[in-house]
């Protein structure tokens, strides 16, 4: 039976990485918030890899932190190994990745939620949405309880009608043997929401005691740790690190896979969902790249207080015995014991083209969604969307301006814009190559890019934003000083240059110009820079990057300027594209469906041509003048 239970401002369905950020953001902004999970032990669970960050994902985490989200702080508290990837490449693609103690990560996030004011945590499955008079009104749980609210954020991850598959075993369960959520999909369909069926997978976990690590390459963490959170200092979070190990598949592994392909649900057709190219199963890799002699396999500990080890690179839905046999072909794993079997998981998600850039459903006022439910993959992608959905749901309730980050401001902007503009037909993974202004969107400057926005929203403290403002000023002053300071062509300078194999100078040159030489940098120049002020590393690092890559940065800034012009030409939501005669038919259909917020977004829709954009501009002008 149905009974009235409680009243809230915001209801969050699901307490994974998206749900947690959404609930925290809304509660911290003063919204009375309730978050539901089918099992409270699964809050911020990491059902797949035990790591946070990596290329582009690390960028997302730092952006989340700069806006006032929790993921960065939480991983700083619970990491067991930290590395900055790509340090041999340019600063734009340096990427922070940490191995997490996934049990501590989950517990620690739960604790943060528990201690957040205005936030109620409840175990229970939401089965229905209440929607009338063009607005979301509340949710109903499996027990029949009704929760009234002004906004709902769906963050159900892979739980909706989840089915786990390996070999000929197919179980209707969520990840990690947790209960699936089987009712909500129907309610969504009733509301006219277009549902997709996606698939992803995870490898086996093995018992670390049964592995001979001496046969593998050890991968140790960095000596110097960069925290994810801009509010942490290295010394706050420094700790003993745990190693990962690298090994490889071989002929034997591939033979076992080939011999058992007919037993794979992927090839027998049992699995219908669309899987991501980004995390192919080992059977996929062996079939698609049959000429590759070996594939890398990383062994990653799942935590400090467990023997479970994650076998990265061996995601599989082959039968249990085949998984065991193939794992045992790897060097050092001859006697390994499986603790959890690898599986493929199918789940309901939505076509994200139904969403606005705020992550609110276009046709369902007050209903927001985030994470894997929106067709993405990855903890970080989920958290980023959760944060933005939580923020925007709150902004709407408070009658404040919506917060939409554009593609030139943040990876978060790229992620959400891709999802709501281009859609996706496989679980969407963030990649640095998706960001057109990659050189500007660095992980090292996420605070400079976004802190003021985080502060304006109300999630970032005054103290933190002031620190960023001071940092920016110091950077600018120092760059200015280096541009002004000239060194002459004297013997001291040229012997310094000689030492660095740098061409001697014949006439005076500024330190800023010298710094741009590939063989020199800010630190090296100390020797010939007598009146250098004492500055923090975070400042000098920015000075170095901003001067060294100045040419490229300037060019990208110019492109951004062009980009912003179209981004700021907003299209009213009620335009009837079908009635605009000059648009080609395909463009009319796409525009009617996607309802872009700006001319800029419209121009990124496939099937909308430059001529269509011209027509839209003319139409907009007509509207403006008709007023």
| Closest approach of another protein to the CB of residue 614, in Å | 5
Nearest to another protein of 2, 296 (CB atom): 296
Q: Return the CA Rg of the chain.
A: 26
If one counts every other C-beta atom within 10 angstroms of the C-beta of residue 549, the result is 18
| Closest approach of another protein to the CB of residue 182, in Å | 28
The three-state secondary structure class of 586 is helix
Cα 10 from Cα 118, distance rounded (Å): 10
| Closest approach of another protein to the CB of residue 625, in Å | 5
Cα 404 from Cα 388, distance rounded (Å): 8
Pairing status of strand 33-37 against strand 10-13: parallel
| Closest approach of another protein to the CB of residue 465, in Å | 29
CB 350 within 8 A of CB 195: yes
Nearest to another protein of 424, 451 (CB atom): 424
Cα 96 from Cα 57, distance rounded (Å): 8
CB 400 within 8 A of CB 356: no
The separation between CA 449 and the C-alpha centre of its own chain, rounded to angstroms, equals: 17
| Closest approach of another protein to the CB of residue 611, in Å | 4
Query: Strands (DSSP E) along 333-460, which ranges?
Result: 338-340, 343-350, 367-369
Nearest to another protein of 68, 600 (CB atom): 600
Nearest to another protein of 255, 484 (CB atom): 255
The three-state secondary structure class of 135 is strand
Nearest to another protein of 91, 174 (CB atom): 91
Nearest to another protein of 433, 473 (CB atom): 433
The separation between CA 323 and the C-alpha centre of its own chain, rounded to angstroms, equals: 30
Nearest to another protein of 95, 540 (CB atom): 95
DSSP secondary structure string, 295-344?
A: -EEEEEES-TT--EEEEET----S-HHHHHHHHTTSTT-TT--EEE--EE
- Backbone phi and psi for residue 27, each to the nearest 5 degrees, phi listed first: -65, -40
Nearest to another protein of 47, 390 (CB atom): 47
DSSP secondary structure string, 453-508?
A: HHHHHT-S-HHHHHHHHHHHHHHHHHHHHHHH-EE-S-HHHHHHHHHTT-PPPSS-
| Closest approach of another protein to the CB of residue 68, in Å | 27
| Closest approach of another protein to the CB of residue 516, in Å | 9
Nearest to another protein of 168, 217 (CB atom): 217
Nearest to another protein of 172, 296 (CB atom): 296
Nearest to another protein of 48, 403 (CB atom): 48
| Closest approach of another protein to the CB of residue 293, in Å | 11
Task: Starting at the earlier edge strand, list the strands of the sheet with 135-141.
Answer: 3-7, 145-148, 135-141, 126-132
The three-state secondary structure class of 141 is strand
| Closest approach of another protein to the CB of residue 298, in Å | 7
Cα 122 from Cα 145, distance rounded (Å): 12
CB 289 within 8 A of CB 281: no
Nearest to another protein of 268, 622 (CB atom): 622
- Which residues sit opposite 129 in a β-bridge? 139
End-to-end Cα distance, the chain? 52
Q: Which residues bind another protein (CB under 8 A)?
A: 48-49, 55-56, 85-86, 89-93, 95, 203, 276-280, 285, 288-289, 292, 295-296, 298, 312-313, 315, 422, 431-434, 438-439, 518-519, 549, 552, 555-556, 562, 581-582, 606, 609-611, 614-615, 617-619, 621-622, 625-626
| Closest approach of another protein to the CB of residue 332, in Å | 18
CB 23 within 8 A of CB 13: no
CA distances (Å), origin 384, targets 224, 231, 379, 391, 465? 27, 18, 9, 11, 20
Cα 481 from Cα 514, distance rounded (Å): 13
Nearest to another protein of 88, 399 (CB atom): 88
Phi-psi region of 607 (alpha: psi -120 to 50; beta: other; left: phi over 0): left
| Closest approach of another protein to the CB of residue 161, in Å | 24
| Closest approach of another protein to the CB of residue 246, in Å | 8
Nearest to another protein of 338, 580 (CB atom): 580
Give me the residue label for tokens 């009733």: 190
| Closest approach of another protein to the CB of residue 58, in Å | 11
Nearest to another protein of 529, 550 (CB atom): 550
Nearest to another protein of 505, 566 (CB atom): 566
- Which residues sit opposite 160 in a β-bridge? 181
| Closest approach of another protein to the CB of residue 46, in Å | 13
CB 24 within 8 A of CB 155: no
Long-range (24+ apart) CB contacts under 8 A made by 399-406 are 402/358, 403/358, 403/453, 403/457, 404/357, 404/358, 404/597, 405/450, 405/453, 406/563, 406/564, 406/567, 406/600
**Both tokens assigned to 126:** 């939401």
- Backbone phi and psi for residue 277, each to the nearest 5 degrees, phi listed first: -70, -20
| Closest approach of another protein to the CB of residue 9, in Å | 38
Q: CA angle, corner 554, sides to 550 and 558, nearest 5?
A: 175
| Closest approach of another protein to the CB of residue 91, in Å | 8
């Amino acid at each position: 039976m149905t009974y009235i239970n409680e009243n809230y401002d915001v209801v969050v369905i699901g307490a994974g990485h998206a749900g947690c950020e959404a609930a925290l953001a809304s509660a911290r902004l003063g919204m009375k918030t309730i978050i539901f999970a089918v099992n409270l032990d699964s809050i911020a669970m990491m059902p797949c890899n035990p790591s946070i960050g990596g290329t582009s994902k690390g960028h997302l985490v730092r952006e989340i932190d700069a806006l006032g989200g929790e993921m960065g702080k939480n991983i700083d508290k619970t990491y067991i190994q930290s590395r900055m990837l790509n340090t041999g490449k340019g600063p734009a693609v340096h990427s922070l990745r940490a191995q997490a103690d996934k049990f501590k990560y989950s517990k620690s996030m739960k604790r943060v939620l528990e201690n957040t004011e205005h936030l109620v945590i409840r175990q229970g499955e939401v089965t229905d949405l209440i929607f009338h008079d063009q607005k979301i009104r509340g949710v109903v749980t499996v027990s029949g309880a009704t929760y009234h609210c002004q906004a709902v954020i769906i963050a159900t991850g892979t739980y909706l009608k989840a089915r786990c598959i390996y070999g000929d075993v197919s179980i209707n369960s969520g990840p990690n043997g947790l209960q699936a959520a089987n009712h909500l999909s129907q309610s969504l369909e009733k509301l006219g929401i277009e549902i997709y069926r996606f698939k992803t997978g995870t490898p086996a976990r093995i018992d670390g005691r049964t592995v001979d690590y001496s046969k593998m390459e050890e991968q140790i963490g960095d000596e110097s740790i960069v925290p994810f959170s801009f509010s942490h200092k290295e010394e706050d979070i420094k700790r003993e690190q745990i190693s990962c190990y690298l090994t490889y598949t071989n002929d034997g592994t591939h033979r076992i896979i080939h011999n058992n392909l007919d037993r794979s649900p992927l090839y027998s057709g049992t699995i219908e969902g669309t899987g991501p190219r980004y995390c192919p199963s080992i059977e996929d890799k062996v079939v698609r790249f049959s000429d590759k002699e070996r594939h890398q396999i990383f062994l990653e500990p799942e935590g400090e207080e467990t023997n479970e080890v994650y076998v990265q690179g061996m995601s599989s839905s082959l039968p249990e015995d085949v998984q065991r046999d193939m794992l045992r072909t790897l060097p050092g794993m001859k006697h390994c014991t499986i603790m959890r079997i690898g599986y493929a998981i199918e789940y309901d998600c939505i076509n994200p083209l139904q969403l606005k850039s705020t992550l609110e459903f276009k046709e369902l006022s007050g209903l927001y969604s985030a994470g894997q439910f929106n067709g993405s993959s990855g903890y970080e992608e989920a958290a980023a969307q959760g944060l933005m959905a939580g923020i925007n749901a709150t902004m709407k309730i408070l009658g404040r301006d919506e917060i939409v980050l554009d593609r030139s401001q943040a990876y978060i902007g790229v992620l959400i814009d891709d999802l709501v503009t281009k859609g996706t037909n496989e679980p969407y993974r963030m990649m640095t190559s998706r960001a057109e202004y990659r050189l500007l969107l660095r992980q090292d400057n996420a605070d400079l890019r976004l802190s003021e926005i985080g502060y304006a929203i109300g999630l970032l403290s005054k103290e933190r934003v002031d620190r960023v403002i001071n940092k920016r000023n110091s950077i600018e002053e120092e760059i200015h000083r280096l541009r002004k300071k000239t060194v002459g062509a004297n013997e001291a300078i040229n012997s310094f240059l000689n030492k660095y194999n740098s061409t001697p100078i014949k006439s005076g040159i500024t330190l800023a110009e010298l710094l741009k030489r590939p063989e020199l940098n800010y630190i090296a120049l100390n020797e010939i820079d007598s009146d250098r002020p004492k500055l923090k590393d975070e400042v000098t690092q920015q000075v170095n990057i901003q001067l060294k890559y100045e040419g490229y940065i300037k060019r990208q800034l110019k492109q951004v300027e062009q980009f912003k012009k179209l981004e700021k030409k907003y299209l009213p939501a009620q335009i009837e594209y079908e009635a605009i005669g000059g648009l080609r038919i395909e463009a009319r259909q796409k525009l009617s469906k996607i309802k872009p917020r700006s001319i800029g977004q419209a121009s990124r829709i496939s099937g909308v041509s430059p001529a269509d954009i011209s027509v839209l501009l003319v139409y907009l002008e007509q509207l403006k003048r008709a007023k």
